[in-house]
Structure 1
């Protein structure tokens, strides 16, 4: 299904929590929480956001149970364009009464939506946009950054590559806010460990031909080629790097952001041995397996990655906060709803116990994985070997280093 910039998916969008059929339309509207899932339904980030994020949000609504208020889920495609994303956010809030915007892959779109939500005093629960600036210079009392960010990825995957001897880097970077932030944060870790960045080249979003970029990377003689991109761009770059024989000469490929959905797209033959960082894996423990089994029938052949799990967990925790403070209060003051979320410990099957810091950063462990070889996999989606776990208190940038105006003192 194709979407224009104002389209919404109506099918199955309204989910009721509590019996309110006898109330007037105005009373029902005042007692209805509206969640807007704004993401990529048709482009390069469809598999890591898209319909699977929507299914996970709807699962959260179902799991939240009945608390005497209604919940409605709306969906739109931002087309990876900041102007489209911010326009949808404004229309949702001003025209449709949306209280919360979730997901929002693409950091440029996320930063635009972040500003709109703060201006309108609603709630933004980010899962799939990576820029750590959302809890740094662009932090907001209306925003929670769940799941992962560029600082965490740089520390975990980038740091592991440097410790393994990869002390000279060449970056192939997506040319927008996310890629710039991931390259910046990884470069800082490389240099802090006495490594060096030899060069960088930037490519447009949705690029299909990486040959010229790979030739430049190869000629640089860097020990590590860092891919600061995501989704279909990462899949294409990894496939073409294999075709070029990039790693046969001893060069390491650092895939700084890779989701299990990308591994599935690549296949184990092409992806084996790659190292990546996620904060959720469907086969990590009994709780993650139980969550996956519950949501899988709604996923049309996909499986949840950390970005999808973040949509579920963020929506579930928000609805717990609404139940605690009341729907009317949550609708009236988005910043107050986020403050209530921060005051409550988080708990869900995807991430376990956690918390939300004053800067809006959701805290939980991160996991460094290696992709299995085909002969190591026991079946479909059995793709990861756990290399190391970074505790929640160490996984994300220290709050004092983020330059978030809300916590600068």
Structure 2
């Protein structure tokens, strides 16, 4: 666990150290693209943290990715070729993710990689894939992966990014003059969400009254709560993920925080809301890429939900789970348009792709390959307002897909 925490906290340094530990060294970045023998199967690598504190979200991503593959195979595959999903446990560790990705490329001869569920871990996967000229579709939030230091022509980012997410949430939750305190996980995800909220806060005219960083995987937040209460904010932004979100919100409620301030999170997680029930989460506001309730107004969401229910005993897909479906589906649509998995043709097809597979229109911006898509702002319902066990959230706002909400290409260090 110590190595995992260091990898998550250190970001770029740890993943590059992981490369060196694998014996890749400086020569890795100069490696030629991998040649593959022709066969009938298109292989997609899927590293994700099946074990660890993000395992619930990771397993949902696998279920949704498997569904996307099944639906395509049921229709005859891609250009007449069946598709195979090769899932590997990256254990939420940058070095492990790099190792598994190298194996997928060199041993399993995958044609592309999709996955990873952490800012630092996805950057480690991206470093391996771009060095080998293998297409990678990331399905976890990150601002860094779109920036010039980490971006490559083989890199596509299907997930929302912290800039998009925090801007949408802040626009609905912050007001001019509001006092905001922050509790953020001390690794890349927490830092990027904190940066995004503070940028949005400044534009709105809200005021930061303090920020506290907590270690990844913290079980006890009791030492932080008196300090946060003493800041007397109007809003408490809790910027963490997975079990950390559930633990932090539950303990904040136990300390009476909700009696004195509103709780806001960058990403309101379906699984964590289920884990601790409606009472602790009641009234908490946050962002999301997907909510199954979109089926009431978006036909592709209804089709996705129905297929997922049929394959998973009536269960509905979750927010982060949906990334597995949209990421794989977009890739396979591009491969179909390209007539197969040849990398250069698929890259060109993805850059021009307009797709609607689960949540309305999406496309990839050409300069940084960020998926342009809607951003949802949700509020957790109280028990009395829930129609059924899956009726968790109210959609307060759905920001439509627009490049206007992204950082400019010039700010990312990329040509327009």
Q: TM-score range by the shorter chain?
A: 0.7 to 0.9
Residue 132 of structure 2 corresponds to 120
Give 1:378 deviation, angstroms: 0.6
* Unmatched tracts of structure 1, length 5 or more: 1-25
Q: Assess, with a 3 A threshold, how the Cα gap between structure 1 residues 27 and 241 changes in structure 2: closer, same or farther.
A: closer
Correspondences of 1:135-214 after superposition (within 5 Å): 135-137=146-148, 138-163=150-175, 167-214=178-225
Give 1:195 deviation, angstroms: 2.3
Residue 266 of structure 1 corresponds to 276
Q: Distance in 2 between matches of 1:267 and 1:29?
A: 51
Q: Distance in 2 between matches of 1:227 and 1:44?
A: 17
Residue 281 of structure 1 corresponds to 291
291, 294, 308: which one aligns with 2:307: 294
Residue 143 of structure 2 corresponds to 132
Q: Assess, with a 3 A threshold, how the Cα gap between structure 1 residues 300 and 86 changes in structure 2: closer, same or farther.
A: farther
- Is 1:84 the equivalent of 2:96? yes
SS at match of 2:377: strand
1:353-402 Cα deviation digits (max 9, x unpaired): 22111111111211211111111111011112121121111674143354
324, 335, 349: which one aligns with 2:337: 324
Give 1:254 deviation, angstroms: 1.2
RMSD between aligned residues:
2.2
- Is 1:393 the equivalent of 2:405? no
Residue 120 of structure 2 corresponds to 108
- Is 1:55 the equivalent of 2:67? no
- Is 1:33 the equivalent of 2:42? yes
Give 1:273 deviation, angstroms: 0.9
* Preserved contact between residue 275 and residue 369 of structure 1 (Cα < 8 Å): yes
Give 1:204 deviation, angstroms: 2.0
Q: Distance in 2 between matches of 1:187 and 1:31?
A: 50
Q: Assess, with a 3 A threshold, how the Cα gap between structure 1 residues 199 and 27 changes in structure 2: closer, same or farther.
A: closer
Residue 225 of structure 1 corresponds to 236
Residue 12 of structure 1 corresponds to none
Residue 342 of structure 1 corresponds to 351
Residue 14 of structure 1 corresponds to none
1:308-367 Cα deviation digits (max 9, x unpaired): 21211221121122122233xx34x3x54222112121121x122221111111112112
Q: Assess, with a 3 A threshold, how the Cα gap between structure 1 residues 175 and 268 changes in structure 2: closer, same or farther.
A: same
SS at match of 1:227: strand
Give 1:121 deviation, angstroms: 0.9
Q: Assess, with a 3 A threshold, how the Cα gap between structure 1 residues 401 and 380 changes in structure 2: closer, same or farther.
A: farther
- Is 1:353 the equivalent of 2:361? yes
Q: Distance in 2 between matches of 1:196 and 1:324?
A: 49
SS at match of 2:47: strand
Q: Assess, with a 3 A threshold, how the Cα gap between structure 1 residues 27 and 167 changes in structure 2: closer, same or farther.
A: closer
Q: Assess, with a 3 A threshold, how the Cα gap between structure 1 residues 400 and 38 changes in structure 2: closer, same or farther.
A: same
* Preserved contact between residue 177 and residue 205 of structure 2 (Cα < 8 Å): no
Moved more, 238-247 or 395-404: 395-404
Moved more, 82-91 or 280-289: 280-289
Q: Distance in 1 between matches of 2:43 and 2:177?
A: 47
Residue 314 of structure 1 corresponds to 327
Q: Assess, with a 3 A threshold, how the Cα gap between structure 1 residues 69 and 28 changes in structure 2: closer, same or farther.
A: farther
Give 1:298 deviation, angstroms: 4.1
Q: Distance in 2 between matches of 1:101 and 1:158?
A: 33
TM-score, length of structure 1 as denominator length: 0.85
1:45-66 Cα deviation digits (max 9, x unpaired): 112222x211211211122221
244, 253, 260: which one aligns with 1:242: 253
SS at match of 1:283: helix
Q: Distance in 1 between matches of 2:38 and 2:320?
A: 30
SS at match of 2:195: helix
* Unmatched tracts of structure 2, length 5 or more: 1-34
* Preserved contact between residue 141 and residue 339 of structure 1 (Cα < 8 Å): no
Q: Assess, with a 3 A threshold, how the Cα gap between structure 1 residues 208 and 155 changes in structure 2: closer, same or farther.
A: same
